[in-house]
Amino acid sequence: MAVDLADVLRRTSLLASVPDADLSVLAAASRMRTLRRGQVVCSTGDPGDTLIVVISGRLKVVTRSADGAELTHTILGPGTTLGEVSIADGGPRSADVETLADSQLLFTSRELVRDVCARTPVAALALAASVAATVRRLTEATADLVFLDLPRRVAKVLLSQPRDASGVISPQLTQEQFARLAAGTRQSVNTALRGFEKRGWITADGRDLRVRQPEMLAHFCGD
């Protein structure tokens, strides 16, 4: 089934208010790629010459130390975009991006997106809001690493993940992915999760994690 690329762009918060004629131009110049789980989308220092739209699948945004330690900044799902900072400042990619599942991605020219933002005030405001949201997220994450202990960081990760109507976190995260989001080890994260389960705040059934008392988790981590 053919994908309507203009509709894909229209469904993003960045380009939702862009006129149809501009979306058609962007769509015509865009390219779609299908990547398997575990493939590299881009690396730190690569040219930031495209806006990336997640059509399906999941991506992780990470930075790595010289000795290979990894810090996961965020996980992106369908309908989200990546690369707004490079669009704003023209700089290179500031993190590594990899697929966590088979993914379909749309790559749109930075220069064309900048041109649309220059002519469409609503799009320019959306770009500024997206960059501001990234700054706020990174500022909060830095503060959490300094001021919150691991159990409280784990609580914040639990609350940040999408959940279905019954409270089950979906899509599931592996233990390793969860640990990297919380900036801890698998063992320490599992210890924190068991503590929450004993309190009745969450339940674990196999790989399924169900958040039963989000208000208690929020109170615990000061959210």
Domain that holds residue 121: 5-145
Low-confidence ranges of the chain (pLDDT < 70): 1
57 and 115, same domain (yes or no): yes
161 and 118, same domain (yes or no): no
Burial class (CB in 10 A: 0-12, 13-18, 19+), 150: middle
108 and 156, same domain (yes or no): no
70 and 170, same domain (yes or no): no
pLDDT of residue 223: 74
Write the CA distances from 94 to 16, 43, 62, 167, 202, integer angstroms: 25, 8, 9, 34, 35
| DSSP count for the chain of H helices, then E strands | 9, 10
Domain containing residue 48: CATH number: 2.60.120.10
Last residue of a domain, one of 101, 127, 145: 145
pLDDT of residue 1: 61
Q: How far is Cα 52 from Cα 30, in angstroms, rounded to an integer?
A: 10
pLDDT of residue 102: 96
Residue 51 region, left (φ>0) first, then alpha (ψ -120 to 50), else beta? beta
